[in-house]
A and B are shown apart, each in its own frame.
Chain A
Amino acid sequence: MAELRGSHGEANGNLLTRHFGTPDLHKIDVYESKGGYTALRKALLEMEPAAITNEVKTSGLRGRGGAGFATGVKWSFIKRDTPEPKYVVINADESEPGTAKDRYILENSPHMVLEGIMIAAYAVGANQAWIYIRGEYDEPYRMLMEAIDEAREKGYVGQKPMGKDFPIDIRLYRGHGAYICGEETALLESLEGKRAQPRSRPPFPAVKGAWGRPTLLNNVETLATVPTIINMGGAEYAKLGTEKNPGTRLLTVSGNVKRPGIYEVEIGKTFRHIIMELAGGPPDGRKVKVFWPGGSSAPVLPESMLDTTSDAEALAAAKSMGGSGGVIVMDDSHCIVEAAHRLLQFYAHESCGKCTPCRVGGDWAVRMYERILANEGSQVELDNLRRVSDALQNGRCLCGLGDSAGWVIDSTFRHFYSEYEDHALRHECKVSHA
């Protein structure tokens, strides 16, 4: 494996990553020697399913995939007495730009993810779990496959895990390159062998999910956190982080910083701490210009807002969000209009085409950016961008992809409108590209 760039070891209150970097941690024996699978044993042999879900509720854990929904509450939506089959589906289709933390977890400790999956499966009464992993993740896929084989040999995956009469099976399904599959209902369509276009809700996946059956969908990091919560207790876990957004989470810090990496950070630290201290700040002689606090879909924040804290409430007050925890940093040698153009190309390319505002709006926006960047812009292009941005937002589409595209325009307008005017009205870029 490549050199680890990010949290590992017992320092700094690491919970998930404290054993990362241990040689062969991906092997089941090593994982167990570090206390692995004790949470599963405890959950299966000493706890009632409802008590497990309650523990997760008490912890205040919120989904780490992007939407930040309360995990325990989500688990309680699955009616345990519904006849089988029910499914747990794990979203390992990590593809939010600037986000690499699920890959980091899977490559370091695949068994931690399996342990979380099995606890969740028992809690909601599902005998079958499917891990939907993005097709480009060859190495994590191979490691997961080996880990599942090991867990099956040990009898953890199988008819009687830890001797408990509750069969659990875990299978892998590879994605094939489509950002939209990170959206939960699009992922389900894909798992069913269809074009990945989001479904209309209701019915929600908890009622009618994979293959028409009740389904719990959770992100890799969310489930990887569950063993920690069972081991330390929900109330202890809830003491970390902020009151409404407890715990630690893995932030991927990338872009123009000296030490890009995946940092496990107690929620509520400032982005100044995360970007300037943990990641070492921008290259010498450069200043932070702007950062995306939670993947490219999170509205941008300018340098003046570096003291914003990383909890969901503070980010919402700053008109952004924690999203996937992908912190992308851009320094003052880069142009915001070019960056927004690149992201709109992304959203236009990844639109699944189902909802008109997103299918048409993304391409319109790209065209406006092309004119502006070719010095053919005017007030007309700026006004059109604002109209497109409005049309993409506020629930006009079945999923959040359209909103995300709109937020790129919206938030870069909010904080950097004068740069847009430089380009569109005066046909100049004040950023030195040196």
Chain B
Amino acid sequence: MSALSQHVIDEIRELPARFPQPRSAVMPALDLAQEELGHLTPDAMTEVAAALNLDAGYVEGVATFYSLFHMAPTGKHRFYMCTNLSCSLRGANELVDHLRKAIGVSEPGEVSKDGLFSYEGVECLGACEYAPMARLDHRYHYDLTPEKIDSLIEERRNPRPHLTSPHGGEGPAPKPHKPRAPRKKKVDG
């Protein structure tokens, strides 16, 4: 049985045509694989390589270079906690300690018992005027405090969508998690 579903493989096969040279498709292809599986397994990388006519070792070499590709299972929700200088001068390290206790893990990458959460300490995320800040899944959260971290966790443990303010402050509300359907072709790579 293959790791990736057929429609993902089909989408990956269409990627190279968007670029002046086909090799540029490797990261968008790995994105699709990671979106389906949550992380990149050796089988998935081999299938990506086959779909793009690349060497499996080459694809793995690219995947392991970049920190947004995950080589091991993560929580359903990922905290990317900025711990670089601008955030750590405003308490980021203490927030990481708090988060760790709140989700019950002892190190980055470790998944909480309920499978919902994992975290990583990351480098500057480019929103220093709102430090300390973090990215949770695909959304930035600003001016963090232990209480804000607690409520982000609570909202995901007990989702109550009608209580989520549309004007929460930091961009659109996160999309509910659902298996991906085949997507329409887009012009942008």
Contact mask for chain A residues 307-346; partner B; CB cutoff 8 A; 1 contact, 0 none: 0000000000000000000101010001000010011001
Of the stretches B103-111, B118-126, B144-152, the one at the interface is B118-126
Residues 114-144 of B contacting A (Cβ, < 8 Å): 122-131, 135, 138-140, 142
Q: Does A96 contact B (CB under 8 A)?
A: yes
Question: What residues of chain A lie closer than 8 Å to B179, measured between beta carbons?
Answer: none
**Cα of A103 to Cα of B135 in the assembled complex, Å:** 14
Residues 167-199 of A contacting B (Cβ, < 8 Å): 171-179, 190-196
Task: Name which of A135, A292, A334 has the most chain B CB atoms within 10 A of its CB.
Answer: A135
A145 touching B129 in the complex, CB below 8 Å, given contacts A176-B66, A179-B123:
no
Q: Does A222 contact B (CB under 8 A)?
A: no
Q: Which of A5, A85, A176, A260 is within 8 Å of B67, CB to CB?
A: A176
Considering only CB atoms, which chain A residue lies closest to B89 in the complex?
A255
Assess whether A193 is in contact with B25, with CB atoms less than 8 Å apart.
Answer: yes
**Cα of A131 to Cα of B18 in the assembled complex, Å:** 14
Q: Does A261 contact B (CB under 8 A)?
A: yes
Contact mask for chain A residues 331-369; partner B; CB cutoff 8 A; 1 contact, 0 none: 000100001001100100110100000000000000000
Q: Does A256 contact B (CB under 8 A)?
A: yes
Question: What residues of chain B lie closer than 8 Å to A103, measured between beta carbons?
Answer: 126-127
Assess whether A148 is in contact with B188, with CB atoms less than 8 Å apart.
Answer: yes
**Cα of A99 to Cα of B25 in the assembled complex, Å:** 29
**Cα of A70 to Cα of B172 in the assembled complex, Å:** 38
**Cα of A135 to Cα of B21 in the assembled complex, Å:** 21
Question: What residues of chain B lie closer than 8 Å to A139, measured between beta carbons?
Answer: 139-140, 171-172
Assess whether B85 is in contact with A255, with CB atoms less than 8 Å apart.
Answer: yes
Question: What residues of chain A lie closer than 8 Å to B71, measured between beta carbons?
Answer: none
Q: Which of B24, B68, B122, B138 is within 8 Å of A193, CB to CB?
A: B24
Assess whether B23 is in contact with A194, with CB atoms less than 8 Å apart.
Answer: yes
Considering only CB atoms, which chain A residue lies closest to B29 in the complex?
A193
Min CB distance A108 to B, Å, is 13
Question: What residues of chain B lie closer than 8 Å to A213, measured between beta carbons?
Answer: 20
Q: Does B112 contact A (CB under 8 A)?
A: no
Question: What residues of chain B lie closer than 8 Å to A175, measured between beta carbons?
Answer: 66
Q: Does B88 contact A (CB under 8 A)?
A: yes
Assess whether B171 is in contact with A5, with CB atoms less than 8 Å apart.
Answer: no
Number of interface residues of A (CB under 8 A): 66
Q: Does B169 contact A (CB under 8 A)?
A: yes
Question: What residues of chain A lie closer than 8 Å to B187, measured between beta carbons?
Answer: 171
Q: Does B99 contact A (CB under 8 A)?
A: no
Q: Which of B27, B128, B130 is within 8 Å of A99, CB to CB?
A: B128
Contact mask for chain A residues 68-101; partner B; CB cutoff 8 A; 1 contact, 0 none: 0000000000000000010000000011111110
Considering only CB atoms, which chain A residue lies closest to B142 in the complex?
A2
Q: Does A296 contact B (CB under 8 A)?
A: yes
Q: Which of A99, A211, A292 is within 8 Å of B126, CB to CB?
A: A99
**Cα of A179 to Cα of B68 in the assembled complex, Å:** 12
Q: Does A219 contact B (CB under 8 A)?
A: no
Residue ranges of A at the interface with B (Cβ–Cβ < 8 Å): 1-3, 5-6, 85, 94-100, 102-104, 128, 134-139, 142, 145, 148, 171-179, 190-196, 210-211, 213, 252-256, 260-262, 292, 296, 326, 328, 330, 334, 339, 342-343, 346, 349-350, 352
Q: Can you show 30 pairs from A to B with CB atoms below 8 A apart?
A: A1-B171, A2-B171, A6-B129, A85-B20, A96-B124, A98-B124, A98-B128, A103-B126, A103-B127, A134-B126, A136-B68, A137-B126, A138-B140, A171-B18, A171-B189, A175-B66, A176-B31, A176-B66, A177-B68, A195-B61, A211-B21, A254-B86, A254-B89, A260-B128, A296-B84, A296-B124, A326-B86, A330-B85, A339-B85, A346-B123
Interface pairs A-B: 7 shortest CB-CB: A254-B128, A176-B66, A177-B67, A254-B86, A177-B68, A193-B23, A97-B124
